[in-house]
Amino acid sequence: MRNTMPETGAFFPRDREMHPPAYAPWYKTTVLRSPQRALISLEGTKSEITGPVFGHNILNEFDNDLIVNYAKPGESPIGQRILVHGRVVDERGKGVAGALVEFWQANAGGRYRHKKETYLAALDPNFGGVGRTIADEDGYYWFKTIKPGPYPWPNGVNDWRPAHIHFSIFGHGFAQRLITQMYFEGDPLIWMCPIVKTIPDEEAIKQLIAPLDMNATIPMDMRAYKFDIVLRGRRSTLFENRKEGN
C-alpha cells in the first residue's frame, strides 16, 4: 500500500440503469430472488466508505496460478493456457492499490469442481478452478489459468453460458464490493446469454469482454487476455465540509 493519506470521501452513486435490475425474468432464478420494493438511498457513512483490507500474508505462492495450484507434482491441467491480467481502477482512473481479487471458473470442458454440479463433462484431476491475488500499487493484477469451456444450464431448454471467469473484488470501501464475470473476445454465446442480457446497457456488456492481448502473450507458452475492472470512484474530501468523525 502507498504511504499516502487515506481517502475518506463518499463514493460516487451507482448508475443503477447500467447495472442489471434485480428482476430479469428471462434469467428465471431472479423471479423469486428479486426485491420488489425500492432500495433506500443512503449516502455513504463510515460504515460504507470503510472496508476490510487484506495483506499479502493471506497469499501462498501459487494462489494466482490455477495451472499449478491444484495439479499433482509434474502434471498440469488440459486446456488452453492463458494469462489474464489488467488493472483494478476506480471511475477516476486511479489504480486501486491492494485490491483483493478472487476468481473461479469451470475447467476446459465447462465442468465445475462443485458438489452440486452434475454436468456430464469430465472433471480434470489437475484443475481446481480457484485463485486469488492482491493488486499492486498501481492496481495491476495477473493470474495464469486454463481457458474455461462453455457449459449448459437449466434455464431455458437450450441455454449455454459463454466461456467466463467469475471475479470478486474488494476495493477500499465496502460500498465498492463487486462480483462480476469476464467474457472472452469473439465468443458468439455472449450475445445469446440470459445472464449477460440482464445488463441493460450494451456498452456495459462490452466492458466485461476481455480482448486477446498478443503483447502480453508469452511466446511458446501461453496467450493473454486483458481485463480491466472499474470500481466506484470517490469524492475528494477537500471540498466536503463536514464535522470530524463522519
Partner 1 sequence: MVQPLGYLRESASQTAGPYVHIGCTPNFTGIHGVFETDLGSGPLVNDKTKGERITVRGRVIDGSGTPLRDALIEIWQADADGFYQSPSETRGTADPNFLGWARCPGDMATGEYVFETIKPGRVPFRDGRLMAPHITFWIVARGINIGLHTRMYFGDEAEANAEDPVLARIEHKVRVPTLIAEREGNTYTFDIYLQGENETVFFDM
Residues 39-98 contacting partner 1, CB under 8 A = 39-54, 58, 60, 63, 69-70, 89-93
Question: Which residue of the set 19, 81, 112, 113 is catalytic?
Answer: 112
Among the residue ranges 142-150, 197-205, 209-217, 218-226, the one whose residues contact partner 1 (CB under 8 A): 197-205
Position among 33, 80, 125, 218 found at the interface with partner 1 (CB under 8 A): 33
H or E segment to which residue 47 belongs = helix 46-49
Catalytic residue list contains 27: no
Residues 218-237 that bind partner 1 (CB under 8 A): 229-233
H or E segment to which residue 88 belongs = strand 81-90
Distance in Å, CB of 214 to partner 1, minimum: 23
Position among 120, 157, 179, 220 found at the interface with partner 1 (CB under 8 A): 179
Catalytic residue list contains 164: yes
Query: How far out from the chain centre does Cα 190 lie?
Result: 16
Provide long-range contacts, Cβ within 8 A and 24+ apart, for 222-226.
222/81, 222/82, 222/83, 222/144, 223/80, 223/81, 223/82, 223/83, 224/82, 224/83, 224/84, 224/85, 225/82, 225/83, 225/84, 225/85, 225/182, 225/184, 225/185, 226/85, 226/86
Residues 122-161 that bind partner 1 (CB under 8 A): 128-132
Distance in Å, CB of 200 to partner 1, minimum: 9
185 counts as binding partner 1 under rule CB under 8 A: no
104 counts as binding partner 1 under rule CB under 8 A: yes
Pairing of strands 178-184, 209-210: parallel
Distance in Å, CB of 198 to partner 1, minimum: 5
How far is the C-alpha of 79 from the C-alpha of 100, rounded, in Å?
26
Among the residue ranges 75-83, 142-150, 175-183, 214-222, the one whose residues contact partner 1 (CB under 8 A): 175-183
| Number of residues forming the site for partner 1 (CB under 8 A) | 97
| Angle value at C-alpha 65, between 125 and 107, nearest 5 degrees | 40
Write out the three cell numbers for 233.
470512484
Question: Which residue of the set 19, 113, 166, 235 is catalytic?
Answer: 166
**94 vs 217 by CB, closer to partner 1:** 94
| C-beta of residue 87 within 8 angstroms of C-beta of residue 138 | yes
| C-beta of residue 208 within 8 angstroms of C-beta of residue 180 | yes
Position among 121, 136, 180, 192 found at the interface with partner 1 (CB under 8 A): 180
Catalytic residue list: 112, 151, 161, 164, 166
